[in-house]
Structure 1
């Protein structure tokens, strides 16, 4: 771990600052939208714009990098991010904010593709798993730190928009001044969605539903908290609770996934998401209970993504894993685009606590489908890949790096098993 930190500290520092900026703008828009009198549905459209842009960026950024190079793409997209963050308070209109969110989602996706390719290039087969773990940790630290910075100013003013703009601008300095050489760039040809669904129906359905759940947390949690009248400090703490839970539960769930039928664990963890959301719906009148609900929902739903990826890999050949990455990211992105819109509609019909109802429904469907799939196909048995931590905000580059970790771990396990058999 220290070896990875020494070789990639500038990149990881830059990514931490980027995540602070990204985490601040999501929460801040949810609070500022309520101050400006935007309806819940208008805010759901605004929030979904980020995921639409992110999905588009993840597909177009690789071609941009191949044409003009990492450094130019990185610097250009970073400049756009800083500009949009400054312009948000100048144009307090749902349409303008939606356009800004699409643009900023596109730019962040391209920045992530660039940074993740640098990180993957700097890692070796022996350190790639540790590099992904550190990448996950700094992402979580960045988002949680962003919530603390929400107390640094008045959401109705300009200062809280200036802070993330400055942080994003600063984040590029350590990366661009220290990263060398520029890595070669290439991504695997994506597997068709039909073939991917044939190989792993649970994988496709699971990442789609999780896209909706993740988008609700990342995009609509601040909107929900504003609608029920929480203070800025309480909103920030509530949003942070999702990611603290995700960070703390990622590795225990990963440990379990390598020791039991993953479909059983997917079912139980999905039920945990539904139970956490149900608890928030029932006991959400208490702020402390809301925090506990957010911790449980975040701590179960975020690791569930990597768990479903690992399950999908159990039914893929090594040479197909990288190709499956693009399809999984695309399906997850489609779920994320519609997630805030449906959440906003449900909140408009039921009230603010429709936020939890939406997640209960999606998590229950996933748990039920996992149980159904157990009746349709036998378990993968001992021939399974190892769990590797990865977030839903990861692009195809990070996903392909994670797939390489899966393959390396499986080959190492096979080698150890063979050696034990010989002895």
Structure 2
């Protein structure tokens, strides 16, 4: 671990600042949009546009890097992020915010792709798993820290938009001053979606449903808090609880996934998250219940992402794992785009409880489908399953292929040992 920190401390520091800026702008827009009079559905489209931009960048950024190089892409996209962040309070219009969020999604994804390719280049086969774990911890810690900044007094209405802009600008300094460009990478040709679904129906359906759940946490949790009448301090704690749960439960569930039938674990974890969401629907007046529900939902949904990828890999040959990653990412991205809009519509119809109702429907549907798939074919033996690699649902193609490389190496080691 110390070896990874020594080699990548500047990159990890920069990514922490980036995640603080990204986490703050998402929650801040949720609070300020409601105060500006935007409806729940308008806010859902604004939040959803981030994931549309993110998905577009996941396809386009590798080509941009091959044409002009890592440094130019990194600096250009970072400049756009800083500029857009300080434009939000000046453009109090839903259309402008939709466009701004789409640009942010595109730029943040491009920045992540570039940073992750540097991280991948600096890691060895022996340290790849540790580097992935540290990267995930940095992402979660940055988002959690961002929620505390919501409480900074902002009498002018601009300060909280300036803070993430400054943080993002500062984040590039340690990265660009300490890392040399890496060779342009070649994107792996994606596996046909029909073939991918045939290989792992549960992996595909689960990742689509999970995209909606994660997008609800990242995009709509502050919107829910505002609609439910929570104070700014309570909204900060509520949003943080999702990511604290993800940090705390990621590794225990990962340990379990390597020792049991993954379909059964997927079903039970999704069931726990769905039950927590239902509890929040019926006991929303108790803030501690909301915190506990957010902790469990975040603690279940984030590890589910890695669980579903690991389960899909169990049915793939090592040489097919990297090509499957692009398809899995695309399916998850479609769910992330649709999720906030459905939640926004639901909140407009039934009120704030629509937030938790949809999360419950998505997670319980995943649980039901996992139990159904258990009746369709036998599970691979625990000895034949691949390695669990921690990832967040905001993973880019580089992080996904990075994790797949780790899984491929582990699978090949197991074959050599056998």
- Structure 1 length-normalised TM: 0.97
CA drift of 1:156 comes to 6.9
Instruction: After TM superposition, list the pairs within 5 Å mapping 1:103-114 onto structure 2.
Output: 103-114=103-114
CA drift of 1:155 comes to 7.9
Instruction: After TM superposition, list the pairs within 5 Å mapping 1:51-200 onto structure 2.
Output: 51-154=51-154, 157-200=157-200
Q: Distance in 2 between matches of 1:155 and 1:268?
A: 46
CA drift of 1:37 comes to 1.0
Corresponding residue number in structure 1 for 2:273: 273
Instruction: After TM superposition, list the pairs within 5 Å mapping 1:247-326 onto structure 2.
Output: 247-326=247-326
Q: Deviations over 1:377-417 (max 9, x none)?
A: 1111131101000011110110001011112223334445x
Q: Is the 8 A contact 2:65 2:184 kept in 1?
A: no
Q: Distance in 1 between matches of 2:414 and 2:356?
A: 41
Corresponding residue number in structure 1 for 2:399: 398
Q: Distance in 2 between matches of 1:152 and 1:413?
A: 51
2:81 alignment partner, SS class: helix
Is 373-382 or 51-60 further displaced after alignment? 373-382
With over 3 angstroms needed to count, the CA separation of the structure-2 counterparts of 1:280 and 1:155, relative to structure 1, is farther
Q: Distance in 2 between matches of 1:55 and 1:260?
A: 33
Corresponding residue number in structure 2 for 1:371: 371
Corresponding residue number in structure 1 for 2:385: 384
With over 3 angstroms needed to count, the CA separation of the structure-2 counterparts of 1:198 and 1:176, relative to structure 1, is same
Instruction: After TM superposition, list the pairs within 5 Å mapping 1:196-207 onto structure 2.
Output: 196-207=196-207
CA drift of 1:181 comes to 4.2
Q: Which runs of 5 or more residues in structure 2 are unaligned?
A: none
Q: Deviations over 1:162-194 (max 9, x none)?
A: 000000000000000001242441221100111
Q: Is the 8 A contact 2:318 2:412 kept in 1?
A: no
Q: Distance in 2 between matches of 1:303 and 1:31?
A: 27
Q: Distance in 1 between matches of 2:183 and 2:143?
A: 27
Q: Distance in 1 between matches of 2:350 and 2:225?
A: 15
Q: Distance in 2 between matches of 1:191 and 1:258?
A: 25
Q: Distance in 2 between matches of 1:187 and 1:152?
A: 42
Q: Distance in 2 between matches of 1:359 and 1:15?
A: 29
Corresponding residue number in structure 2 for 1:408: 409
Q: Distance in 1 between matches of 2:153 and 2:412?
A: 52
Q: Distance in 1 between matches of 2:190 and 2:182?
A: 24
Q: Distance in 1 between matches of 2:181 and 2:169?
A: 22
CA drift of 1:331 comes to 0.4
Q: Deviations over 1:81-120 (max 9, x none)?
A: 0000000000011110000000010000100110010001
Q: Distance in 1 between matches of 2:232 and 2:94?
A: 21
Q: Which runs of 5 or more residues in structure 1 are unaligned?
A: 419-423
Q: Deviations over 1:200-227 (max 9, x none)?
A: 1111001000000000110000000000
- Structure 2 length-normalised TM: 0.98
Root mean square deviation, CA, Å: 1.0
Q: Deviations over 1:3-58 (max 9, x none)?
A: 00000000000000000000000000000011111110110010001000000011
Q: Is the 8 A contact 2:70 2:184 kept in 1?
A: no
Is 1:18 equivalent to 2:18 in the alignment?
yes
Q: Is the 8 A contact 2:69 2:184 kept in 1?
A: no
Q: Distance in 2 between matches of 1:64 and 1:146?
A: 30
1:152 alignment partner, SS class: coil
Q: When the two structures are aligned, how many residues end up with a matched partner?
A: 417
Q: Distance in 2 between matches of 1:169 and 1:39?
A: 32
Is 275-284 or 137-146 further displaced after alignment? 275-284
Q: Is the 8 A contact 1:216 1:339 kept in 2?
A: yes
Is 1:33 equivalent to 2:50 in the alignment?
no
With over 3 angstroms needed to count, the CA separation of the structure-2 counterparts of 1:394 and 1:254, relative to structure 1, is same
Q: Is the 8 A contact 1:28 1:155 kept in 2?
A: no
Q: Is the 8 A contact 2:69 2:181 kept in 1?
A: no
